[in-house]
Structure 1
Amino acid sequence: MRWRLSPGTVIDGFELQEHLSTGGMAQLWTVSRPDDPVPLVMKIPLLVDGDDPLPIVCFETEQMIMPRLTGPHVPRFVAAGPLDPMPYIVMERIPGQSLKSRLEEVPLDWTEVAGIGAKVAHALHDLHLQHVIHLDVKPSNIMIRETGEVVLIDYGFARHERLPDLLAEEFREPFGTTPYMAPEQVLQDRADPRSDLFALGVMLYFFVSGERPYGTPRGGQIRRRLWRNPVPPRALNPHCPPWLQEVILRCLEVDPADRYATAAQLALDLENPEQVRLTERATRLEKDGGMKTFRRWLKARKAQPLESPNIAGQLSRAPIVLAAVDLSPGSEDLADSLRMMVGRILSIETEARIACVNVLKTSRIAVDILEDEEGRSLHVQRLVQLRHWGASLDIPKERISYSVLEAPDPAAALVDYARHNNVDHIVIGARASSALRRYLGSVSSQVVAEAPCSVTVVRTPKDRRAENG
């Protein structure tokens, strides 16, 4: 069903009060709950447009990460609703405005820029200690509490090193806000916390100079930051002290190894300028010359997107099992047999990570209908069914993920998913044989032929008897 949201609507005990904003992927409402005096805000993802799964995946990412975050630098998580019937996240409402409200005042006084930078760096260090990389640090995602602490909001693009990285698994492009994206993010590496320090460097540059170091690039233009360095901020604002330029340009180094090792070290320099060791960065007033830029360009030409996310910790050491689940009508018995097989694998591979995948087949030439007659997203419905399928598996929630892929060729989509994510084992169901299936070839046979890993094909007992009979 489609919810009609208006002041006074009650969702799971939360009453909508004021509509704050509608962004590209979600809308925000202030809400209240009986006997809860704390100001609350509800974030509701925009899932009506069925041809774009990104808001769904970002919502699931944020819903996974936020309950695990604690401390003054993150919004306090209150509650969340499932995709069916109404997805939402409720969190504390941070009073005041984000740092985006300061953009009309740039350039700011350098002393204030350094103070803001130090507070953000402290918040990022606390976030990194909780195994999370934000990957979308920018003024609109930074609030300041009345007590002075910075609060980092919006975790739709974030990465938790101990949880599935759904964005990296399901998509083949970099994610973030292009003016603030680190070079390694452009190459689809989402595993380095120093990416957040690069974004903070972009923000400090903007606040002190009034311009963004890389402009607002589009498409392939974002790769230029792999070889082009920005105009030094002191060339745009002579009031910027050399030590602050040193700090900013160090944050903006192309190679993460040349940046600060941690956000804590960055905060230390911003709060103790007399301790900053000055290099040639501090006195630079022009971009690098043509020969140095050309050498970086040659190096950047060899830089390629990562084939898979660099998952650390337990997930990197555990086998990844892809369960290809058929949710089409009439496949219930096959889905049950597949669940039993995955359960057997889990009894042996006790550290396994299960990726439950369903393919929503689309047409190569026709216009796809991605909503049902009642206007509900087919993508969301499939995702709800897939979660229901995996609910009975005996596996911790942080070691199972659910993805609905949209593709005209289901077998190719599964093989590509397996290759991109370093899957160790595919478990896929096969329907009973038929003349048409033998002539055209089945999805399971194509996966067996092309998969880069082991494949287990599952049949129902009824189909096995039919084949033998």
Structure 2
Amino acid sequence: MRILIIDDDEDLRNLLAHYIRQEWPKAEVDEFDPLARDVPDEQFPLGDYDLMILDYMLGRGDGLEWLHEFKKRIDCPPVLFLTGAGNEIIAVRAMKAGASDYQRKQELTRERLVNSIRDLTHDAAERTLSPELASRMEGHMLGERVRISGYRILRLIGEGGMSRVYLASRDRDDEPLVVKILRSEATADKNALARFMEEYSLVERIKSRHVARIHSHGVSEGHAYLVMEFFDGGDLNKRLGGRASAPHEALRIFRELMFALGDIHECGILHRDLKPQNLMFRSDGSLAIVDFGIAKHIDAIDRTGHGEIVGTPRYMSPEQVRGMALDLRTDIYSSGVLLYQMLTGKHLFDGDTAVEVALQHLNTPPPAMSDELSVYQRLLDKLLEKDRDARFRNADEVIGFLARKFQQA
């Protein structure tokens, strides 16, 4: 395998080359310094390379302009485009110009680089595809098949049980958006299709800045889709990075979550699956809840029969684990689990299996807070009551408690 790295930062070029040689000791890696050389002309042997890694900022040059020139050539290899944080529109333009993938330099780890290279080169040394790679390839092909007027699907960025999620752009202004497409195997399932479209129906009722905006929905090439807001601030998992937040920041996010739940609950909707992946942030730091795939209108909650368990084990309320009919207080409990994680950097409960984790919500008292966090103990105790009758009844009660006890937070 032969790879070309074009970047004006010598340290970054060396680091990328080091990562590549660690994974593929026989790989040939050529470094190209745009500060010392102009854009390669037609005599430059692009076709000799299996992959090009191209930075956006090239000192005197513009990576997008170089990309346009490269893609005019029939021998141009796949291009992995590097951008800075907050440059989602640049990433979108690079994908539209022909880049095969992109990575933010601030988030580029050895694992992410290797995975991108492997996906783009289909690593000839691997005679069989891993299930993960096969799934990603299937997802890319689905994104290429589905056509949505006014939008362009660029790349697969996530997968769920029923759907795949893609980065897309709006034709008129290159605005980055997200397209959620129902999986092929779920499209034929009438119940799955109904649940997928119910997500749009539920979110449409909520007029709140704390909920992801849906721009469009419909069916294309036999696949149901939703076009949604893109969040360049990432999710709560990314924000935490496996660590605790500063207490004042954790409380700020938690307070915003309560405003969000207040707006949702006022419309009679239970989310039922609050977790870090479903709390997204805009570039200004504001929070929005996403993924209403298993949400329910409270009037329809009886249709979720007793004994049906929904949610994510780490964040389930005791009544969810028991398969009971749910009300607003189930989301209150899950938000308490999230607050505990933000304050401590740890999960409320851990275990070797999902069942082991879920059962602790029924029987195990939450760990006591450390001395420096003891001021939050009473709040967490009331959020995480096993008996929902002893819990805060709704988000407004929590907001009132915060106003009384944490006025300066």
2:376 is the alignment partner of 1:239: no
The Cα shift of 1:70 comes to 1.5
Q: Tell me which residue corresponds to 1:46.
A: 183
Q: Tell me which residue corresponds to 1:133.
A: 270
2:204 is the alignment partner of 1:71: no
Q: What secondary structure is seen at the aligned counterpart in 2 of 1:21?
A: strand
2:224 is the alignment partner of 1:91: no
Give the 3 Å change call, closer, same or farther, for CA 223–61 of structure 1 in structure 2.
farther
2:388 is the alignment partner of 1:253: no
Measure, in 1, the Cα distance between the counterparts of 2:218 and 2:187: 19
2:32 is the alignment partner of 1:32: no
Q: Tell me which residue corresponds to 1:177.
A: 312
Q: What secondary structure is seen at the aligned counterpart in 2 of 1:197?
A: helix
1:195-344 matched pairs, under 5 angstroms:
195-216=330-351, 217-219=353-355, 222-234=358-370, 238-240=371-373, 242-273=374-405
Per-residue Cα deviation, 1:128-153 (whole angstroms, up to 9, x for no partner): 11111111111110012334432000
Measure, in 2, the Cα distance between the counterparts of 1:117 and 1:27: 28
Per-residue Cα deviation, 1:390-432 (whole angstroms, up to 9, x for no partner): xxxxxxxxxxxxxxxxxxxxxxxxxxxxxxxxxxxxxxxxxxx
Count how many residue pairs are aligned between Structure 1 and Structure 2. Answer: 269
Q: Tell me which residue corresponds to 1:124.
A: 261
Name which of 226, 229, 244 aligns with 1:107: 244
1:230 partner amino acid: P
TM-score norm. by structure 1 comes to 0.51
TM-score norm. by structure 2 comes to 0.58
Does structure 1 conserve the Cα–Cα contact (< 8 Å) formed by 2:349 and 2:357? no
Q: Tell me which residue corresponds to 1:143.
A: 280
Does structure 1 conserve the Cα–Cα contact (< 8 Å) formed by 2:202 and 2:292? yes
1:194 partner amino acid: R
Q: What secondary structure is seen at the aligned counterpart in 2 of 1:11?
A: coil
Q: What secondary structure is seen at the aligned counterpart in 2 of 1:233?
A: coil
Measure, in 2, the Cα distance between the counterparts of 1:5 and 1:83: 11
Measure, in 2, the Cα distance between the counterparts of 1:31 and 1:154: 17
Does structure 1 conserve the Cα–Cα contact (< 8 Å) formed by 2:181 and 2:225? yes
Measure, in 2, the Cα distance between the counterparts of 1:19 and 1:4: 10
The Cα shift of 1:58 comes to 4.1
- Could you tell which deviates more after superposition, 27-36 or 73-82? 27-36
Give the 3 Å change call, closer, same or farther, for CA 193–239 of structure 1 in structure 2.
same
Give the 3 Å change call, closer, same or farther, for CA 175–9 of structure 1 in structure 2.
closer
2:288 is the alignment partner of 1:155: no
The Cα shift of 1:13 comes to 4.2
1:200 partner amino acid: S
Does structure 1 conserve the Cα–Cα contact (< 8 Å) formed by 2:301 and 2:326? no
2:213 is the alignment partner of 1:81: no
Does structure 2 conserve the Cα–Cα contact (< 8 Å) formed by 1:110 and 1:239? no
Give the 3 Å change call, closer, same or farther, for CA 197–38 of structure 1 in structure 2.
same
Give the 3 Å change call, closer, same or farther, for CA 53–227 of structure 1 in structure 2.
farther
Q: Tell me which residue corresponds to 2:111.
A: none
Does structure 2 conserve the Cα–Cα contact (< 8 Å) formed by 1:159 and 1:165? no
Give the 3 Å change call, closer, same or farther, for CA 227–275 of structure 1 in structure 2.
farther
Give the 3 Å change call, closer, same or farther, for CA 37–268 of structure 1 in structure 2.
farther
Does structure 2 conserve the Cα–Cα contact (< 8 Å) formed by 1:194 and 1:259? yes
2:217 partner amino acid: A
**Structure 1: segments with no counterpart, 5+ residues:** 277-469
Does structure 2 conserve the Cα–Cα contact (< 8 Å) formed by 1:107 and 1:206? yes
Does structure 2 conserve the Cα–Cα contact (< 8 Å) formed by 1:8 and 1:16? no
The Cα shift of 1:221 comes to 5.4
Give the 3 Å change call, closer, same or farther, for CA 13–83 of structure 1 in structure 2.
closer
Bigger relative contact order, structure 1 or 2 (CA pairs below 8 A, ≥6 apart): 1
Per-residue Cα deviation, 1:112-139 (whole angstroms, up to 9, x for no partner): 2212111111111111111111111111
Q: What secondary structure is seen at the aligned counterpart in 1 of 2:339?
A: helix
Measure, in 1, the Cα distance between the counterparts of 2:148 and 2:185: 18
Per-residue Cα deviation, 1:30-79 (whole angstroms, up to 9, x for no partner): 22344366432110122426998885464243133122222201111222
Q: Tell me which residue corresponds to 2:25.
A: none
2:327 is the alignment partner of 1:192: yes
Measure, in 1, the Cα distance between the counterparts of 2:259 and 2:314: 22
1:205 partner amino acid: Y
2:397 partner amino acid: Q
2:233 partner amino acid: G
Q: What secondary structure is seen at the aligned counterpart in 1 of 2:226?
A: strand
Q: What secondary structure is seen at the aligned counterpart in 1 of 2:141?
A: coil
Give the 3 Å change call, closer, same or farther, for CA 175–67 of structure 1 in structure 2.
same
Does structure 1 conserve the Cα–Cα contact (< 8 Å) formed by 2:328 and 2:393? no
Measure, in 2, the Cα distance between the counterparts of 1:99 and 1:93: 15
**Structure 2: segments with no counterpart, 5+ residues:** 1-138
Give the 3 Å change call, closer, same or farther, for CA 33–102 of structure 1 in structure 2.
closer
Measure, in 1, the Cα distance between the counterparts of 2:194 and 2:349: 28
Measure, in 2, the Cα distance between the counterparts of 1:209 and 1:33: 40
Measure, in 2, the Cα distance between the counterparts of 1:274 and 1:134: 26
The Cα shift of 1:82 comes to 4.1
Q: RMSD value over aligned CA atoms?
A: 3.1
Give the 3 Å change call, closer, same or farther, for CA 67–117 of structure 1 in structure 2.
same
Give the 3 Å change call, closer, same or farther, for CA 49–41 of structure 1 in structure 2.
closer
2:264 partner amino acid: L
